[in-house]
Structure 1
Amino acid sequence: MQNISHPKHSSLDLRAAIDAAVTAAHTGAAVLQSYAHHRADLVIDHKARNDLVSQADREAEAAVIDALQARMPGLGIVAEETGGVPQGPATWYIDPLDGTTNYLSGIPHYAVSIALIAHAGTAVAIGEPVAVDTPVIGVVYDPCREELFTGVYGIGSWLNGRRIACSRTPSLAESVVATGFPFRDFSFAEEYMPMLHDAIHTTRGVRRQGAAALDLAWTACGRYDGYWEMGLAPWDVAAGTLILREAGGVCTDMYNIDSWPRGGYVVAGNPQVHKALQAMIAPHLKPRQA
């Protein structure tokens, strides 16, 4: 488990952080939407198989980073296109366009995702410093629906300013769950396909929309009862993890190694469905070293 220790006097102003993240998300989304009706003109690069990036991603990311640094300098930044390393008392994790394939195909299901991870030893709000690296701010903004999901550590989660909570569905048999198919890294396909088979046969329905940040946000507000996916990046899940946790749900690394699913192997849901999903997934997982 990777944690970055800092002196106990390090502290974060969560009110300032959520304001900065919301402003940055709107700024990044404005860039995306400015290209929305001119997608055919975008220059698209292939980072890897089925892993695309356009100037919309790059310009949105630059706008997000500029907005965050202007409001809260001195924090680390890890972003999908420009990289970075965790540092300082906390680090921003930025996905300027979660759902790139949807965006480039004209499918109106994508989002800007911004999270702040407090590092071990950093105090947040009023209380003791966090013992391990912990998501403390989450913002997921869907510009097509104009839905802004926000979460603040220890306080709660909201959709467009109204408090949200995960579902109370008690079992997998009554659940609608979300997932993501292997699309870039197929090394875990032999593990994933039996999980999908089991989910199809034991749930009310399985959905695959193609934007992990929104899958987690939709689980947080009760549209989905649970969600699991493999092979993601930390910026895909950081914001949604905090939003779901603050909505009363559970979001974990499916290997139970990391304090949040920074390795990209995520299982989430309301407490009952999370437990059932974890039990469904576990028999098919191959061992992974910490």
Structure 2
Amino acid sequence: MSDFVTPVLLMQTLAAVREAGRIITEAWEKPRSIKYKGPIDLVTETDVAVETFLGKRLREILPEANVLGEEGSPAARPEGTTWIIDPVDGTTNFAHSIPQCGISLALWRNDTVEMGIVYLPAEDELFHAVRGEGAFLNGKEISVTDESDVEHALVATGFPYSIREDIDIVMQNLRAVLMTTQGVRRFGSAATDLAYTACGRFDAYYEIRLKPWDLAAGWLLVEEAGGKVTLYDGVTPFDFGKGILASNGKVHKAVAALITDTDD
């Protein structure tokens, strides 16, 4: 159980995330101002506005913590006590008014995620977890599925921004999973995929080349909901910079046998 995340800290952080979510909902029907960070990697003014707002609020809540955000931090991974922010995970979805997008926020301390929050404002779904205290959706405790047969498993995945370079391994893995499981879903938001795995909508999820802000919060959600998170081999504890495999635990080994990371 976390001895760092107090009820007051959790309450203040959840309130800040909900308030930041209103920036997204207020922008939902407005024209998007879009810039490209890469050939298929984009950012909107809403991403910047949410990260700026949250960065300010979180420094007020926990002044001693660093802030690692997708849009404003040059760091590659957290150091010390750090807020890890993805202001709009699934920016392409947001740009096209697809509801699977939202805020991913994690609190990192002592080389572990102590608190994770994923808020999907278009659907008003607020997921949160504190280490050792379970995972919740809109205040109701959630858990992973009990499915143990990989042929009945619904699996989520994502495609990296480096898809043009990684197309062979992505398609190899996708073919293997499609041929073996009940089906595959691709929503374009790692935070959504991990939250959905935590609450039992998916049985497993895998993806390569994600950044800490994409998955830190969802990583804790899955574990606190009773699931398992590792590298693609299904055994090695997960670490930033590697492919992530998250599941209900019961189909973990079977899904791991189907997929290969780019480093394997």
- Which residue of structure 1 aligns with residue 220 of structure 2? 242
Give me the whole-angstrom Cα distance separating, in 2, the residues matched to 1:264 and 1:56.
28
**1:132-281 alignment runs, 5 A limit:** 133-254=111-232, 259-281=237-259
Shift in CA distance, 14/279, structure 1 to aligned 2, threshold 3 Å: farther
Give me the whole-angstrom Cα distance separating, in 1, the residues matched to 2:4 and 2:94.
34
Shift in CA distance, 106/286, structure 1 to aligned 2, threshold 3 Å: closer
SS at match of 1:238: helix
The answer as to whether partners of 1:147 and 1:159 remain within 8 angstroms in 2 is yes
Q: Indicate whether 1:47 and 2:37 are aligned.
A: yes
Shift in CA distance, 255/91, structure 1 to aligned 2, threshold 3 Å: farther
Q: CA deviation at 1:264?
A: 5.0
Shift in CA distance, 277/91, structure 1 to aligned 2, threshold 3 Å: same
Q: Calculate the TM-score normalised by the size of structure 2.
A: 0.92
Give me the whole-angstrom Cα distance separating, in 2, the residues matched to 1:273 and 1:222.
13
Q: CA deviation at 1:14?
A: 3.9
User: Residue deviations 1:44-98, cap 9 Å, x none?
Assistant: 111101110111100011111111111111111110000154333x211100001
In structure 1, runs of 5+ residues without a counterpart are 1-10, 120-132
Q: Calculate the TM-score normalised by the size of structure 1.
A: 0.84
The answer as to whether partners of 2:208 and 2:261 remain within 8 angstroms in 1 is no
- Which residue of structure 2 aligns with residue 31 of structure 1? 23
User: Residue deviations 1:206-225, cap 9 Å, x none?
Assistant: 11111110100000010000
Counting matched residue pairs gives: 260
SS at match of 1:115: strand
Q: CA deviation at 1:185?
A: 4.5
- Which residue of structure 2 aligns with residue 110 of structure 1? 101
What is the root-mean-square deviation of aligned Cα atoms in Å? 1.9
- Residue identity opposite 1:37 in structure 2: E
Q: After the TM superposition, list the runs of 4 or more consecutive aligned residues in structure 1 that deviate by more than 4 angstroms.
A: 255-259
Give me the whole-angstrom Cα distance separating, in 2, the residues matched to 1:47 and 1:164.
36
SS at match of 1:263: coil
